[in-house]
Amino acid sequence: MTSSVQHDAGPSTADFRASDADREAVVRTLHDAVVKGLLTIDECDERVAAAYAARFVRELPPLTADLPPAAPPVPSAPGWRVLAVMAWLQLRTVLAGVSWRSARGRQGLAIAVAAVLAVLFLGAAAGALSDGGHEVHHAQFQQR
């Protein structure tokens, strides 16, 4: 009677067949472990062969169970080029909707120009600070 209940519940996720993407994810983890010095090349070769031979998803987690979990990727700032393009697009959008005869249109234009100038100023200031900081770091490195 219990076996019919198990069949009615549907297949568990462990009974699903492993896809190429599943296998490749495990292989990437194993290669990263070799680079970090957590596995030898021979250990990696054995596990990679087992990963590619795996038929079911349940066979893959034991291959990486003794490895630490991968750190999530660190988000990076978009950079000044992206911010400058966004400011330019914003200025174009504002200029396209400006009625040059109204006071509100002139006020919108003034705000848009001020925003673009602020972004350009901040970009120049950040560039100057980063170059100066690099020179200081370089000078400290030479003193050691």
Domain spans, the chain:
2-64, 80-143
Say which residue, 118 or 6, is predicted with more confidence: 118
SS3 35: helix
Query: What would the mean pLDDT of 103-116 be, rounded to a whole number?
Result: 75
pLDDT in tens, 25-65: 999 999 999 999 999 999 999 999 999 999 999 999 999 99
Confidence at residue 6, expressed as pLDDT on a 0 to 100 scale: 46
Average pLDDT of the chain to the nearest whole number: 77
13-17, 24-28, 105-109: which is most confident: 24-28
Say which residue, 13 or 76, is predicted with more confidence: 76
60: its two tokens:
């893959």
How far is Cα 57 from Cα 41, in angstroms, rounded to an integer?
24
Confidence at residue 1, expressed as pLDDT on a 0 to 100 scale: 43
Helices (H), 9-102: 20-35, 41-53, 61-64, 80-96
Confidence at residue 98, expressed as pLDDT on a 0 to 100 scale: 64
How far is Cα 142 from Cα 135, in angstroms, rounded to an integer?
11
The total number of residues written for the chain in this structure: 144
Q: 24 falls in which pLDDT band (50, 70, 90)?
A: very high
Confidence at residue 49, expressed as pLDDT on a 0 to 100 scale: 96
Q: 67 falls in which pLDDT band (50, 70, 90)?
A: very high
Using the predicted structure, report yes or no on whether residue 23 has a pLDDT greater than 80: yes
